[in-house]
């Protein structure tokens, strides 16, 4: 039997690497990026669908009755309708562990860049100014408190790195026990408000769900210290960008670092991106040569598992097992 595997969208030059990985199961790989036909036509007889940024709703699933797995080639899976997939008996998977080092490095880099005004000074000097006192006052990073919102794989890696800088690390995660947070190196905090009020730096690491959309809004930002920095390398939409912009303009917090945005690409000439107390990157925290190859391999491996009749390693919608 020959399987048909459709890649709806990707950032690669081609899918030759994937075709090599799928040789063991006799599969045809269809590149949606290199095909003029609409995705709705391409997936009609697909056994598997791999997506990067393309949303997958119930209507698209109904176009592929043979589909056994939808793999989201990344960590977040909010672009896939999980309930619809579960109702149709389709596995939904992601790759939660392919870029832990890169994203945690990125979070720390943003913290350091803001605390030490590196991006600010760089822009100033290239504009012809030499003024070490311009901008906000800097404070020693050692003994500052880092508050982690959620304490999954990436947050744990950030914790480990922050401790090396001498930071005190606290974490809030309602899905973990105090013992699990302590084992990861952080001090557990009972609620989000307490974390926000007691942190010098807040780093967001939750997935984007109906519960976390707008989690950090105007009220939450108002609880932060005046010298607070907030970092979001998780998902756009968790931090209310309008509320954040007002807080930055009114200097109610020190600064922010964003790698993700509610709408991407973000308006590069809008007031948020142009705010001098914001440093930003184009959803690039995951990016490295090594993480890219790891992502491609792990994505293909889970598709192979599903097509061979095995439960995928990175299954998201575990309720689907009740339908198997």
| 259 and 114 within one domain | yes
CATH code, domain carrying 9: 3.40.50.720
Would you say 35 and 55 are in contact if contact means Cβ atoms under 8 Å apart? no
Q: Which DSSP symbol is given to 185? A: T
Same domain? 38 vs 129:
no
For 211-258, how does the pLDDT look when each residue is reduced to its tens digit (9 = 90+)?
A: 999 999 999 999 999 999 999 999 999 999 999 999 999 999 999 999
> Where in the sequence is the domain holding 225, given as residue range(s)?
100-280
The predicted-structure confidence for 283-304, as pLDDT tens digits, reads as follows 999 999 999 999 999 999 999 9
Q: What are the two backbone dihedrals, phi and then psi, of residue 297, each rounded to the nearest 5 degrees? A: -70, -45
In the predicted structure, residue 31 carries a pLDDT above the cut 80: yes
62 shares a domain with 181: no
Query: One of 235, 277, 295, 296 is an active-site residue; which one?
Result: 235
Of the residues 10, 106, 283, 295, which is catalytic?
A: 283
Q: Which has the closest alpha carbon to 4: 50, 38, 67, 47?
A: 47
- Residues contacting residue 201 through CB under 8 Å, at least 6 positions apart: 111, 115, 144, 145, 146, 147, 167, 228, 229, 230, 231
For residue 235, indicate whether it is catalytic.
yes
**Looking at the structure, do residues 179 and 235 belong to the same domain, yes or no?**
yes
Q: What pLDDT band is residue 323 in, cutting at 50, 70 and 90? A: confident
pLDDT, position 103: 98
Residues 116 and 214 grouped into a single domain? yes
Whether residue 160 sits in one domain with residue 57: no
Whether 122 and 146 share a structural domain: yes
Q: Are 159 and 184 in contact (CB under 8 A)?
A: yes
Q: Answer whether residue 54 shows pLDDT above 80.
A: yes
pTM for the full predicted model: 0.91
113 and 256 in a single domain? The answer is: yes
Residue of 211, 264, 276, 290 marked catalytic:
264
Q: Are residues 90 and 133 in the same domain?
A: no
Alpha helix (H) residue ranges in the chain:
16-21, 39-42, 58-62, 82-87, 100-115, 118-126, 153-164, 178-183, 192-198, 218-222, 241-249, 271-274, 289-307
**Phi, psi of 127, rounded to the nearest 5 degrees:** -90, 5
The answer to whether residue 283 is catalytic is: yes
Residue range 162-179: mean pLDDT, rounded: 98
Q: What is the mean pLDDT of the chain?
A: 97
> Is 264 assigned a catalytic role?
yes
Q: pLDDT at position 317, please? A: 97
In the chain, what's the furthest Cα-to-Cα distance? 69
- Residue 1: predicted pLDDT: 82
Indicate if the pLDDT at residue 102 is higher than 80.
yes
Q: How many angstroms separate the first and last alpha carbons of the chain?
A: 21
pLDDT of residue 324: 74
173 plus 104 within the same structural domain: yes
- Do 307 and 225 reside in the same domain of the chain? no
Number of domains in the chain: 2
Does residue 137 register a pLDDT over 90?
Answer: yes
The residue among 245, 263, 280 that closes a domain is 280
Identify whether residues 80 and 110 lie together within a single domain.
Answer: no
């Amino acid at each position: 039997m020959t399987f048909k595997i459709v890649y709806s969208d990707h950032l690669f030059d081609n899918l030759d690497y994937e075709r090599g990985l799928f040789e063991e199961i006799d599969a045809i790989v269809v590149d949606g990026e290199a095909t003029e036909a609409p995705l709705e036509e391409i997936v009609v007889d697909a056994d598997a669908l791999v997506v990067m940024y393309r949303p997958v709703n119930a209507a698209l699933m109904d176009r592929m009755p043979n589909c056994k797995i939808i793999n989201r080639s990344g960590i977040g899976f909010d672009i896939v309708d999980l309930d619809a997939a579960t109702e149709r008996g389709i596995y939904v998977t992601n790759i939660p562990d392919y870029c832990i080092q890169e994203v945690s490095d990125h979070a720390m880099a943003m913290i350091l860049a803001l605390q030490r005004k590196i991006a600010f000074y760089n822009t100033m000097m290239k504009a012809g100014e030499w003024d070490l006192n311009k901008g906000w006052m800097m404070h020693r990073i050692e003994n500052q408190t880092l508050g982690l919102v959620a304490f999954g794989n990436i947050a744990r890696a950030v914790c480990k790195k922050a401790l090396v800088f001498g930071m005190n690390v606290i974490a809030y995660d309602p899905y973990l026990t105090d013992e699990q947070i302590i084992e990861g190196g952080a001090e557990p905090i009972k609620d989000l408000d307490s974390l926000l009020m007691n942190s010098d730096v807040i780093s967001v690491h939750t997935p984007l769900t109906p519960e976390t959309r707008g989690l950090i809004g105007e009220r939450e930002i108002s609880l932060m210290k005046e010298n607070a920095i907030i970092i979001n390398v998780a998902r756009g939409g968790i931090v209310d960008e309008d509320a954040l912009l007002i807080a930055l303009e009114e200097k109610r917090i020190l600064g922010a670092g964003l790698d993700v945005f509610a709408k991407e690409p973000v308006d590069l000439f809008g007031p948020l991106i142009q705010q001098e107390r914001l440093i930003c990157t184009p959803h690039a925290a995951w990016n490295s040569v090594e993480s890219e190859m790891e992502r491609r391999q792990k994505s293909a491996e889970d598709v192979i598992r599903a097509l061979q009749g095995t439960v995928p390693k990175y299954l998201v919608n575990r309720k689907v097992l009740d339908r198997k």
